[in-house]
Amino acid sequence: MQLTKTSCNYGNFRHWWLCPSCSKRVAVLYCAGTYVCRHCLSVPYGSQLQQPIDRLFSRADAIRQRLGWQSGIAHGSGTKLKGMHSKTFDRLVNEHERVTAKIWQQTLDKLGCTS
C-alpha cells in the first residue's frame, strides 16, 4: 500500500492512500481479502441507501441540531441561539416547517388518510 500527500490551502499536508487495485487516491481502504477502496467494492455511501422518508427525518434532525433544539419532530420549537442572525434563524425554522409538513404528508399518504 502506498501513501501520497497533497498540500492544504493553509499549509501542511493531507495524506491519502492509493488503492492497490485502481490507483485512486482515497482516505479509507476496506479489507476484502486485500485492501481496496469503496469504488472497487461498489459500496455506496450510507445516505444512498436511505428511503425518502428517512432522508426527511435526517434533514429535520440536522436543522434541529443546528438550531440547538431537541431531536425529533414531535417536540416544540426552541428559541434563537445567541449569536445567530435572525434571518438565518427564520430561514431554518421555515425549512424545518416545510420538512415536517412533508413528513406528515408522506405518513398520512402511507396510512391512506388523505382523500
Cell (9 digits) for 77:
420549537
Same domain, 37 and 52: no
In terms of pTM, does the model score above 0.85? no
Nearest alpha-carbon partner for 39 in 52, 28, 50, 49: 28
pLDDT band at 111 (very low <50, low <70, confident <90, very high): confident
- Per the prediction, the chain carries an average pLDDT of 88
Same domain, 32 and 59: no
pLDDT band at 75 (very low <50, low <70, confident <90, very high): low
Residue 21: burial class (beta carbons within 10 Å; 0-12, 13-18, 19+):
middle
Residue 80's domain comprises 46-111
pLDDT tens digits along 14-70: 999 999 999 999 999 999 889 999 999 998 888 888 899 999 999 999 999 898 888
What is the per-residue pLDDT for 46?
Answer: 84
Task: Judge whether residue 13 has pLDDT over 80.
Answer: yes
Same domain, 59 and 91: yes
Same domain, 105 and 79: yes
Same domain, 36 and 51: no
Same domain, 56 and 76: yes
The number of folded domains in the chain is 2
Same domain, 85 and 53: yes
Same domain, 51 and 13: no
DSSP notation for the chain: -EEEEEE-TTSSEEEEEEPTTT--EES--EEESEEE-HHHHTPPPGGGG--HHHHHHHHHHHHHHHHTPPSSTTSPP--PPTT--HHHHHHHHHHHHHHHHHHHHHHHHHHT---
